[in-house]
Amino acid sequence: MASPAPALRAARIGEYDVVCSLAVGGMAEVLLARASGPAGFERLVVIKRILPHLASERAFREMFLDEARVVARIRHPNVVPVHKLGEDDGSLYLVMDYIHGETLSSVIRRLSRDDAVMPPALAAYVIAEAAAGLHAAHELTRPDGSPAELVHRDIAPANLLVGFNGSIQLLDFGIALSRDRITKTEAGLLKGRYAYMAPEQSRGEPLDRRADVFSLGVVLFELSTGRRLFHRANPILSMKAVSEAQVPDPRSVVDGYPRALSAVVLRALARDREDRFATAAEMRDALIAAQRAIAPAMVGDVALAALMRERLPERLAEKDHFLTAVREGDVTAATVPRAEVDEDVEPATVALATEEEVAPARSRRRGWIALSLLPLAAAAAAGAYVFLGASWSPGTSAEPVEAEPVEAGPVEAEPVEAGPVEAEPALHQLTLRSDPPGATVDVAGLDEVLTTPAILDLPESSEPVRIRYSLDGHAPTERLVVIRGDREVDVRLEPQATAPDEAVEEASGPPSARRRRRRRVAPSSATGAPAGTGGGDTRSFEMW
């Protein structure tokens, strides 16, 4: 269901007259305002203001100031500029340019609604422009000239603006990570959109710019195939897909997908950050080269503006009408555009499988990815898009793939002996996290040591399951958990002044043992009476 139109606001912030509210988030509200001057001068701006009830909270003020310090120093055509940081009636606010356009997520949803896919050369252009802005942010330096080591951490279609003039701009550095932040992110605290996170980000590990490169690769996959990659029914499943699902070659998803663009996608989405593009600039260069291989004539902002006018004509008319009303001072609730378009449209998700799900021995198990397999061939055929006289259809390509002949022959089926089928016990999802992350977890009845954060399936139990957390330099901690429905267990590990005992060191194990893999624990081995505590251990017990 589409969201209602933003509300009107009669207010003034500094020298700006507020026209209406565009959006409200957890920490700030986004307002459309107008700056007026002599001789009829007028300019529309967007004001991001900390919410009134949080204005006096030190933590939120410092987070807001962190964002201001970051974005105010970035000057690039592909980054929404911030012109001013101010304070009005105790509330901090940022003043930014108003962009006459839509978020990339709106564009993707509209294409999905029309069973269309953005032409590959144009998709390469969009992400190349985004990469240029991202690289400028990554190259930000501190006043002394040292690298700020900025990581955006929230690259997603919702944070890329597509102007009706064909411009591409990156926004929202509210959770960006840099050396200049006043507020420090707690160890293991995840920030960002789960379906676009890099694997190391979902694990709570230290990040560098290559995490943003991965996220931009996810956006490229979605934009150029019309399929979401890691989107799942809930954040836990999205994180599972990011960490373990096998990323398919886009050419296996869309017929006729250009080989050159596929190579860029797969390199950006390498699970090991060492195998990705080292910088966003390097990814941009590869995208430009792929674009030239796909379309000899350069595709740029003119082509993108034409697509915006063709695919979103009523949205363009709606916003033009609104801007006219703003200039004439006749804004009503009916003229304020909705925040997004086609909010009821959910782009399809590509079918992925984890290593465990493709194993023959686990073919009957409940899958992590609760999706209906869509007929990709039909969806690809429906995605044909004619653009500026040149037809792009996922079924046509300058690089035909010749199938090898297969000799047909009779297939003799082996006889199957009928017998009773034993129903598998219902499994429940158990999510284990620790602060700090990276602790080894020993679950009673599980023959493998896990590392937090970890997700596993366990059968329902009437007796508590013993879970032991260990981390060098911290006191070991145990929990007793009764498995009845999906559970989440968060444990804070307290620093230990003395060296951990041998039992803890043994539980830590070699790095090869620290794998986040789902295991089923047999009911008979998952439960049992708690074992006695060892001498010298400092343990805390809690029944969940």
Proportion of the chain above pLDDT 70, given as a percent: 71
> What are the tokens at 202?
């979902």
What SS3 state is found at 211? helix
Query: What is the predicted pLDDT for the residue at 460?
Result: 75
Report the length, in residues, of the chain.
544
Report domain extents, the chain: 8-335, 427-526
CA distance linking residue 356 with residue 280, whole number of Å: 32
Query: What is the predicted pLDDT for the residue at 492?
Result: 85
The CATH T-level fold of domain 8-335 is Transferase(Phosphotransferase); domain 1 (1.10.510)
Q: Which residues pair with 466 in a beta bridge?
A: 480
Q: Which residues pair with 23 in a beta bridge?
A: 30
Mean pLDDT of 460-480: 83
Q: Which band of pLDDT confidence, cut at 50, 70 and 90, is reported for residue 177? A: low
What SS3 state is found at 500? coil
pLDDT (tens digit per residue) in 14-65: 889 999 888 887 778 889 998 877 766 788 999 988 888 887 788 778 877 8
Note if 154 is an active site residue: yes
CA distance linking residue 168 with residue 81, whole number of Å: 12
Q: Which residues pair with 455 in a beta bridge?
A: 431
Q: Which residues pair with 349 in a beta bridge?
A: 228
Query: What is the predicted pLDDT for the residue at 76?
Result: 92
Query: What is the predicted pLDDT for the residue at 111?
Result: 96
What SS3 state is found at 151? strand
What SS3 state is found at 267? helix
Q: Which residues pair with 42 in a beta bridge?
A: 36
Distances (CA, A) of 497 to 138, 470, 509: 38, 15, 21
DSSP 412-470: PPPP----PPPPPPPEEEEEEEEESS--EEEETT-SS-EESSEEEEEE--SSPEEEEEE
Query: What is the predicted pLDDT for the residue at 434?
Result: 86
DSSP 8-state symbol, 334: G
Q: Which band of pLDDT confidence, cut at 50, 70 and 90, is reported for residue 465? A: confident
What SS3 state is found at 9? strand
Query: What is the predicted pLDDT for the residue at 534?
Result: 39
- pLDDT surpasses 60 at 210: yes
Query: Residue 420 CB: number of other CB atoms within 10 A?
Result: 5
Distances (CA, A) of 248 to 213, 266, 321: 18, 8, 43
Mean pLDDT of 142-153: 86
Contact 265, 221 (CB under 8 A): yes
Q: Which band of pLDDT confidence, cut at 50, 70 and 90, is reported for residue 265? A: very high
Q: Which band of pLDDT confidence, cut at 50, 70 and 90, is reported for residue 161? A: very high
Q: Which band of pLDDT confidence, cut at 50, 70 and 90, is reported for residue 287? A: very high
Distances (CA, A) of 60 to 26, 171, 183, 452: 10, 19, 9, 28
Contact 429, 457 (CB under 8 A): yes
Q: What type of residue sits at position 208? A: D
Q: Which helix (H) or strand (E) holds 392?
A: strand 390-392
pLDDT (tens digit per residue) in 298-325: 789 999 999 999 999 999 999 999 999 8
Catalytic pick among 154, 172, 212, 442: 154
What SS3 state is found at 68? helix
> What are the tokens at 470?
């260990």
pLDDT (tens digit per residue) in 219-238: 999 999 999 999 988 888 99
**Which region among 142-156, 177-191, 419-433 has the lowest average model confidence (pLDDT)?**
177-191
Q: Which residue has the tokens 């465990």?
A: 356
The CATH T-level fold of domain 427-526 is Immunoglobulin-like (2.60.40)
pLDDT (tens digit per residue) in 422-441: 444 567 778 888 888 888 88
Q: Which band of pLDDT confidence, cut at 50, 70 and 90, is reported for residue 267? A: very high
DSSP 8-state symbol, 228: B
Of the two residues 396 and 341, the one the predictor is more confident about is 341
> What are the tokens at 76?
């690039």
Q: What type of residue sits at position 360? A: P
Query: Residue 88 CB: number of other CB atoms within 10 A?
Result: 16
Q: Which residues pair with 456 in a beta bridge?
A: 430
Which conformational region is residue 153 in: left (phi greater than 0), alpha (psi within -120 to 50 degrees), or beta? left
pLDDT (tens digit per residue) in 318-371: 999 999 988 888 887 777 888 888 988 989 998 765 444 433 333 322 222 222
DSSP 8-state symbol, 79: B
- pLDDT surpasses 60 at 179: no
Query: What is the predicted pLDDT for the residue at 83?
Result: 87
Query: What is the predicted pLDDT for the residue at 462?
Result: 61
Q: Which band of pLDDT confidence, cut at 50, 70 and 90, is reported for residue 499? A: very low
Q: Spell out the long-range contacts of 183-192 with Cβ–Cβ below 8 A and sequence spacing 24 or more.
A: 183/59, 183/62, 183/63, 183/66, 186/435, 187/435, 187/436, 187/437, 188/433, 188/434, 188/435, 188/436, 188/437, 188/452, 188/453, 191/153, 191/154, 192/153, 192/154, 192/156
Mean pLDDT over all residues of the chain? 75
Query: What is the predicted pLDDT for the residue at 425?
Result: 55
- pLDDT surpasses 80 at 256: yes
Q: Distance between the two ends of the chain, CA-based, in angstroms? A: 38
Angle between helices 209-225 and 259-268 (to 10 degrees): 140
Q: Which band of pLDDT confidence, cut at 50, 70 and 90, is reported for residue 135? A: very high
Query: What is the predicted pLDDT for the residue at 365?
Result: 26
Q: What type of residue sits at position 530? A: P
Q: Which residue has the tokens 């343990």?
A: 539
DSSP 8-state symbol, 223: H
Mean pLDDT of 56-77: 81
Query: What is the predicted pLDDT for the residue at 523?
Result: 39
